[in-house]
């Protein structure tokens, strides 16, 4: 059995849980919302792990990094993995709709399935599911909550987060 290691990183959107086998990152968990991830009893906290992940996320939140280069180890179905790979191709500061993402996967009628896979993304921010929005331009569900999604999109657009967003946590 592979030991799952975890640590936390304090960020402007709250403490993010980082988990994996010490080599590949398999989870990024938000402090609140449906994407909240709590460590399981069998996981072992090791704050010396995920040095590069912490470094790159810190640079991202400081607007010094636009593309992550990390060893990732997401677990999912082949369809989910294909959606998550496609998410990684959405450029920094850009948004697309679920329908557009489905079309990019040559599955134009599968926007709901794409949405479900997007919602199951275990490595948000790094695999940028926050860059997918509704067809009419509205912000739709997000594991860390809509305010967190708004904050991430504003960060990438170069906008200053408002005081309410800065004090989310």
Q: Which residues are catalytic?
A: 129
Write the CB contacts of 16 (distance below 8 Å, at least 6 apart in sequence): 8, 9, 28, 29, 30, 31, 57, 125
Query: Nearest to residue 31, comparing CAs of 58, 47, 10?
Result: 10
Orientation of helix 111-119 relative to helix 78-87, angle to 10°? 80
CA distance 17 to 34: 14
Beta-carbon contacts of 96 under 8 Å, excluding residues fewer than 6 positions away, are: 90, 104, 131, 132, 133
Instruction: Please give the structure tokens belonging to residue 105.
Output: 């996967």
């Amino acid at each position: 059995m592979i030991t799952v290691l975890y640590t936390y990183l304090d960020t402007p959107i709250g403490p993010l849980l980082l988990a994996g086998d010490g080599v590949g990152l398999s989870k990024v968990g938000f402090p609140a919302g449906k994407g909240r991830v709590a460590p399981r009893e069998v996981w072992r906290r090791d704050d010396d792990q995920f040095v590069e992940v912490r470094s790159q996320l810190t640079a991202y939140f400081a607007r010094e990094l636009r593309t992550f280069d990390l060893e990732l180890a997401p677990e999912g179905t082949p369809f989910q993995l294909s959606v998550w790979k496609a998410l990684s191709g959405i450029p920094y500061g850009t948004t697309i709709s679920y329908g557009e993402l489905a079309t990019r996967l040559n599955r134009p009628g599968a926007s709901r399935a794409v949405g479900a896979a997007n919602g199951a993304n275990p490595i948000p921010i790094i695999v940028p599911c926050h860059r997918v929005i509704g067809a009419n331009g509205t912000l739709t569900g997000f594991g860390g909550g809509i305010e967190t999604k708004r904050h991430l999109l504003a960060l990438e657009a170069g906008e200053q987060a408002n005081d309410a967003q800065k004090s989310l946590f």
